[in-house]
Structure 1
Amino acid sequence: MKFNALILAPISGLALAAAAHAQDAAPAAAPTAPPVAAEAPAAATTAVLQQGLQPTAPADGCELHLWPAERMTSQTSGLLGPGLLSSAINGKRDSSNQALMASALDSPSQLNALTALDLRTLLARTPGTTIVLHETPLERHTMNKIKTRRSDSSAKCYSELIVADVFYQKAMMYGRSLRTLFMLRDFGNDQKIDKEYKAWGGNGLKLFPPKEGDDAIAALDELVSVFKGNFDEYARNARKSLAGPAKR
């Protein structure tokens, strides 16, 4: 114990001198091996990277499940308006637009865009709501037919946000726009829908689709930005519509 106490005690002047002498007399230390580079930290999970997935309170048992849209539609019409002739004239352009839309707004990109927003506040969810992502889109023809939960979750507080359609339109009268169809369904502690709100959000475009020589990246980024704006518009209306009592 005394030895330990000496080691921990402040070193006196005599002890410092002795230590210096011992250091001078000691043989040169062998060169140490270079430090091993620390391993790069594991890539952060999607949940960590996405702000919207971070709850502001401990989980409270509520769940919000998200599904992206599979269907991308482009409709370009001129003076004659939409129709068979317009489709024949603009079919190639619309096919190109759909490919660009699918690139900018594929399933992961839609989920990333939505979870970058404060979904709990925008949709009036509890602060402790757990957000669950489903990367595989639902089949479009089943969205209105199936009235039960689309996941196997048994959470007592459960809701679903489904992106149904992503629709680009260029019309002679209204210009270019991106419209998105969303569906929010609230369930009780069972398989029956308590509340449901389905509606479009839509905003104008300035850069998409890019022409030859344009900045294609900026045009695709605009799609993502307008997609978020469409949801913000939808969410404002959804909060008002769902504010009333549940209808069983």
Structure 2
Amino acid sequence: MRSAFSALLLSCAALPASAQDAPCELHVWPADGMGSVRQRAFESSPSAGLIPALIKQSQQKSADAADERARDNLAASATPEPMSTAVQVEALKSLPLADMLGLPGHVVVVHDTPLESRTIRTVRTRYVETVAPCYADLVVDDVFYARAYANGRTLKTFYRFRDFGAQAAPVRSFGTWVDTKLLIFSIDPPDLSQPALDEIVSAFRTNATRFSELLRKRP
């Protein structure tokens, strides 16, 4: 016991004073805006192969026209990016992310710009250089407004979480999609009223909560 305690003291003494005094950090990155995806009726049907080609073609044409209207609706709106990176940053800052992710005492650093996709998928070390003795990160990889044939409108978010502790490699990591149903917000037909915009930001926060709940259930 004494030798282990002595080794701990020596390791702490070897750290720079700034590292010894620094708090643990949780770094958080938003996504690059919000995408949009539609699931067509013929894509969700288990018997899609039996649908006559003419009907399938008609459905495709109608869905593509709706997608084009949705893009035009957003472009013409006074709020063309309802879930822009800036909106995500403010929403993330409003959440107690350290406690939600089981990282009490961590200082939360929310970055203003997204990470590059290549960085997210290839870098296995810390995304930033820091003197913090322990480090974790949360990345909002994707945000999608989804319109499904059977399930209506939802906001889908893909989160990636890594906890390094005091190690050079992550001691735990987790990533998954979560979604929240939208009752007001719509881009086809358009509803970009203030209640609708409030709803989609609330759904974004709810998705963060749902992700944290899934993370806590993991061993």
The answer for the alignment partner of 1:56 in structure 2 is none
The answer for the alignment partner of 2:97 in structure 1 is 119
Offset of 1:131 from its aligned partner?
1.0
Q: From 58, 64, 71, give the equivalent of 2:26.
A: 64
Note if contact 2:70-2:187 (Cα within 8 Å) is conserved in structure 1.
Answer: no
| Larger RCO (CA under 8 A, 6+ residues apart) | 2
C-alpha distance in structure 1 between counterparts of 2:86 and 2:181, whole Å: 23
Unaligned runs of 5+ residues in structure 1 are: 1-58
Matched to 2:93, the amino acid is T
Matches within 5 A, 1:22-171: 61-81=23-43, 85=60, 88-96=64-72, 103-126=81-104, 128-171=105-148
TM-score, length basis structure 1: 0.65
Note if contact 2:82-2:197 (Cα within 8 Å) is conserved in structure 1.
Answer: yes
Alignment CA distance shift 1:97-1:185 (3 Å): farther
C-alpha distance in structure 1 between counterparts of 2:135 and 2:188, whole Å: 44
Sequence identity percentage = 33
Offset of 1:104 from its aligned partner?
2.4
C-alpha distance in structure 1 between counterparts of 2:92 and 2:200, whole Å: 13
Matched to 1:92, the amino acid is E
Note if contact 1:65-1:134 (Cα within 8 Å) is conserved in structure 2.
Answer: yes
Matched to 1:148, the amino acid is T
Offset of 1:108 from its aligned partner?
2.5
The answer for the alignment partner of 1:235 in structure 2 is 212
Unaligned runs of 5+ residues in structure 2 are: 1-20, 45-55
Note if contact 2:153-2:182 (Cα within 8 Å) is conserved in structure 1.
Answer: yes
Offset of 1:179 from its aligned partner?
0.6
SS in 2 for 1:142: helix
Q: Deviations over 1:83-134 (max 9, x none)?
A: 99366333313434776786222223212212212222211112x3211121
C-alpha distance in structure 2 between counterparts of 1:117 and 1:201, whole Å: 17
Offset of 1:63 from its aligned partner?
0.4
Equivalent residues, number: 183
Q: Deviations over 1:1-29 (max 9, x none)?
A: xxxxxxxxxxxxxxxxxxxxxxxxxxxxx
C-alpha distance in structure 1 between counterparts of 2:192 and 2:80, whole Å: 18
Matched to 2:95, the amino acid is L
TM-score, length basis structure 2: 0.73
Q: From 175, 179, 183, give the equivalent of 1:202.
A: 179
Matched to 2:88, the amino acid is Q
Note if contact 2:70-2:189 (Cα within 8 Å) is conserved in structure 1.
Answer: no
Offset of 1:162 from its aligned partner?
0.5
Alignment CA distance shift 1:96-1:203 (3 Å): farther
Tell me whether 223-232 or 191-200 shows the greater mean CA deviation: 191-200
State the Cα RMSD in Å: 2.8
SS in 1 for 2:127: coil
SS in 2 for 1:181: strand
SS in 1 for 2:128: coil
